[in-house]
Amino acid sequence: MSSERKIRVVVAKPGLDSHDRGAKVVARALRDAGMEVIYTGLRQTPEQIVETALQEDVDVIALSILSGAHMTLFPSIMELLKRKGLVDVLVFAGGIIPAEDVPALKKIGIAEVFGPGTSTDTLVKFVKENVRKRG
């Protein structure tokens, strides 16, 4: 029997802003790179995002946020992931996130933060290079 692995990604929009163009562009780029992208829609709570990641057994979580609430929502997501044992999931973020917040976000386990203007090729390359090899 041959093993057929696919990279599974959940693209989520935590918080209350309703601008999902960026999230959809990312979802599409990752899909076109051969990944299975689970799109969850707007206004997700940290609990919903983490529970979705758990049920879908994803390798990657992509968070898009423009509301400015990242310093509250992201730590809560990372904490929940840890509590549920999802420590091998690659998490990255995009949207409007001020540069001075990035070090703190990386400290809590967000692997990378991408700003506006990032090319989709960069994203795809980043995911492929950083996704955890899981057993």
Please choose, from the candidates 101, 59, 52, the residue with its C-alpha nearest in 3D space to the C-alpha of residue 77.
52
SS (H, E, C) the chain: CCCCCCCEEEEECECCCCCCHHHHHHHHHHHHCCCEEEECCCCECHHHHHHHHHHHCCCEEEEEECCCCHHHHHHHHHHHHHHCCCCCCEEEEEECCCHHHHHHHHHCCCCEEECCCCCHHHHHHHHHHHCCCCC
Pick one of 25, 39, 76, 120: the residue that binds other proteins (CB under 8 A). 39
**By CB under 8 A, residue 30 contacts other proteins:** yes
Pick one of 17, 19, 25, 45: the residue that binds other proteins (CB under 8 A). 45
Q: Specify the residue, 47 or 121, whose C-beta has the smaller distance to other proteins.
A: 47
**By CB under 8 A, residue 31 contacts other proteins:** yes
**By CB under 8 A, residue 96 contacts other proteins:** no
Pick one of 71, 72, 82, 84: the residue that binds other proteins (CB under 8 A). 84
Q: Specify the residue, 35 or 105, whose C-beta has the smaller distance to other proteins.
A: 35
**By CB under 8 A, residue 135 contacts other proteins:** yes
Residues that bind other proteins (CB under 8 A): 1-6, 27-28, 30-41, 44-45, 47-48, 51-52, 54-57, 84-86, 135
